[in-house]
């Protein structure tokens, strides 16, 4: 086990962390006062959760969920063995692109061959997890960030590759659209050590404004 595991959030401290951010940042306070607390999004540490995150890469959440549900209809419980038993045509019928077919199969093989172990991942530091997962085909920093946030509930992650979070930050902070990645990250630094919770507030703001519009 790593001795560098960073703090995580839970249902027990989530609203308290939101309140602390609202107190220290008036813009996040505005979101919570206007739209309420964000949902505490979470997923179990399973193969299915990682498949779901891979499916969410560069598509809408609704599209990814439709693909995941179609796969569930086909094989029931989503396991590495179940996915590897399907041929290209069967996965295509579940709305898998050629690229995501490759990624999910590679992940399934890595789990079955012991290249990665999800229980062990949970004992590692954020940087160690990133090193392990980035070695897998199709898993980049955004996928790792979402895994750290949703699955492992690490409390200080800002997914700079997430357009919804970045656009919400720019809108809330009244930053120009052309604001650089470096400046976005510098702004997010102000929310340490609770950048994950700030991200959830940003997502909540983004979704609430869209619903209202």
Interacting residues of 73 by C-beta distance below 8 A, sequence separation 6+: 94
Task: Give CA separation, 105 vs 66, 115, 150, 157, in Å.
Answer: 19, 13, 22, 27
Catalytic residue at 117? Answer: no
Catalytic residue among 25, 27, 145, 162: 162
**Residue 62, helix vs strand vs coil:** helix
User: In three state form, how does the secondary structure of 9-25 look?
Assistant: CCCCCHHHHHHHHHHHC
Q: What residues contact residue 174 under an 8 Å CB cut-off, 6+ apart? A: none
Residues annotated catalytic, as ranges: 162
């Amino acid at each position: 086990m790593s001795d560098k595991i960073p703090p995580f959030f839970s249902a027990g401290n989530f609203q308290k962390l939101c309140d602390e951010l609202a107190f220290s940042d008036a813009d996040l306070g505005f979101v919570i006062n206007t739209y309420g607390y964000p949902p505490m999004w979470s997923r179990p540490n399973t193969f299915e959760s990682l498949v779901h995150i891979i499916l969410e890469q560069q598509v809408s959440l609704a599209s990814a969920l439709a693909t995941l549900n179609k796969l569930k209809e086909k094989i029931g419980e989503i396991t590495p063995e179940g996915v590897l038993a399907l041929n290209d045509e069967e996965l295509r019928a579940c709305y898998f692109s050629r690229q995501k077919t490759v990624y999910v199969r590679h992940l399934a093989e890595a789990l079955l061959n012991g290249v990665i172990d999800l229980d062990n991942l949970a004992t590692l530091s954020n940087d160690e997890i990133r090193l392990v997962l980035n070695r897998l085909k199709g898993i980049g920093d955004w996928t790792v960030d979402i895994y750290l946030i949703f699955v492992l509930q690490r409390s200080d992650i800002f997914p700079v590759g997430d357009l919804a979070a970045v656009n919400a930050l720019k809108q809330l902070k009244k930053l120009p659209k052309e604001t650089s990645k470096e400046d976005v990250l510098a702004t997010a630094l102000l929310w340490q050590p609770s950048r994950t919770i700030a991200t959830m507030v940003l997502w909540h703001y983004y979704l609430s404004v869209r619903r209202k519009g």
